Amino acid sequence: MYVGESQIIPEQTLFTGTVIALRPDSSKRMRSRFNLDFTPYRTPVVRFTQITLAHGTTLPIETDEVSQNATVVHFVRSPSRKHENLIRREFDSAIRLIGDGAIFFTARGRGDRLLQLLYRQLPWHPQRIEKGTTWAVETENPLAVPQFVMPEVSAATGLNARLPKNHNPSWIIEATLSDPISSATAKPGQSIHATVAAPVFNDDHTLAIPQGAILIGSISQALPGRGFGRSGTLRFAFHRVVLPSGTEQTITSNLIGGDSASQLELAVDSEGEVKPEPRDKIVVPLLQLGLAVAPLNPDPGDNDEFIKNAGASNSLGLSGFLAGIIANDMRVSAGFGFYGASLSIYDRWIKRGSDVNFPRNSRVILQTDMRSAKSAVNEMDPSALKQQGTR
């Protein structure tokens, strides 16, 4: 958190809050019932009440209540593949599936992941707020911060410090959206606004764009999610920056990252189009269909009927698995297997695709043309910039 050029709340500061309510998630409950998951899913509502600074000082804070239906995911730029054929997409999906599986069993925290995987197989399981969940909150009242915790920010610790020394002349701007944006409701040409969240500095450590400057842009493309698994797409850019003094300047910006409340991984291509990463549509359904068919093709003298029945019925978690092995009947097991495969095919091929949603206060990261923005700052009176930048 910044006030002008001064950083008042650094990264990794501890916020303490409470869960004040649990709201029923009716849509998730309904979807889970088809998979024999009867967990009464709820969405937590939280409110933060205290900040603990690095040296131990605590500050009271009053924020609005906020709920988050999913862990906020960070998306990054990916290459544009508009003309990629189906075979190539499925090959890439299979590679990602294998890579995700390897990471699942090798990365740190695998014990907890295995426990959560076991929970998801149960017809009822506990719920929790996942580590890494992010909320964007607004304070109800002004925050009284002691003067001694307001060190000056230098260019060496700003966002541009992440760029290599031989980078092209451009700035990295971190901003928060002033209004929600969704591919389901946005229209091409719609105006959008964002607020610069952190000051941006020139290479000589002079202030280029102060915190609080307003970015103005527009939606260039918005397609809602459609039937047959076609996901929504969204493309937007910011074209003007309005400094606190009122000076306005045209800029050229490209979206290179940000946060979005979505359960799907998002990607932005080289043209700034944001959409969910393509899901595997062939490999997983084929595997499930293969497991479902296996019990119906017993080999003479084969003693693997139990394994085939268990594999086919496992598509519906522990409930289906137990029903399949208790019945020990190939038709029952195959029925569970085909039902699970049908749900998978419906989810990937028939159901309406997901939309791209950016709630209010979502973070976006932009790469802008340095020269155009520099001219905007140079037009300002230095004393006015200092006065406005530290308000």
The burial class, CB within 10 Å (0-12 / 13-18 / 19+), for 199 is buried
* pLDDT, position 385: 37
Find, among 81, 362, 355, 384, the residue nearest to 244 by Cα. 384
**Phi, psi for 273 (deg, rounded to 5):** -85, 125
Q: Which residues pair with 327 in a beta bridge?
A: none
Structure-block tokens of residue 62: 């009053």
Query: CA torsion, points 54, 162, 200, 55, in degrees to nearest 10?
Result: 10
Give the C-alpha separation, 145 to 59, whole Å: 8
Sheet strands (E) in 198-232: 200-201, 207-209, 214-223
Number of H helices, E strands in the chain: 9, 20
Q: How many residues are listed for the chain in this entry?
A: 391
* pLDDT, position 148: 52
* pLDDT, position 84: 59
Q: Whole-prediction pTM value?
A: 0.69
Give the C-alpha separation, 250 to 369, whole Å: 10
Task: Tokens 């009947």: give the residue.
Answer: 329
Structure-block tokens of residue 262: 């979505």
Nearby residues of 88 by Cβ (< 8 Å), 6 or more positions away: 81
Fill in the DSSP letter of residue 162: G
Nearby residues of 225 by Cβ (< 8 Å), 6 or more positions away: 183, 184, 231, 232, 352, 353, 354, 355
Query: CA torsion, points 345, 348, 349, 352, in degrees to nearest 10?
Result: 130
Nearby residues of 330 by Cβ (< 8 Å), 6 or more positions away: 295, 296, 298, 305, 308, 309
- The dihedral sign for the CA sequence 93, 95, 96, 102: positive
Strand, coil or helix: 216: strand
* pLDDT, position 357: 84
User: Going residue by residue through the chain (391 aa), what tens digit of pLDDT does each one get?
Assistant: 777 677 778 878 899 999 999 999 888 888 888 888 888 999 889 999 999 987 788 889 888 888 764 455 555 555 555 555 656 666 666 666 666 667 767 777 778 888 888 888 888 888 888 877 778 888 888 887 776 544 444 433 333 333 334 344 578 888 989 988 888 899 999 999 999 988 888 777 778 888 889 999 999 889 898 888 888 888 888 998 998 888 888 888 888 877 776 656 777 776 677 877 767 778 788 888 888 888 877 666 566 677 777 777 777 777 777 777 777 778 888 888 888 888 888 888 888 888 888 888 888 888 886 554 444 444 444 443 333 333 3
**Phi, psi for 220 (deg, rounded to 5):** -105, -25
Q: Locate all alpha helices (DSSP H) within 294-347, ordered by sequence.
A: 305-313, 317-327, 330-345
Give the C-alpha separation, 180 to 368, whole Å: 22
* pLDDT, position 288: 83
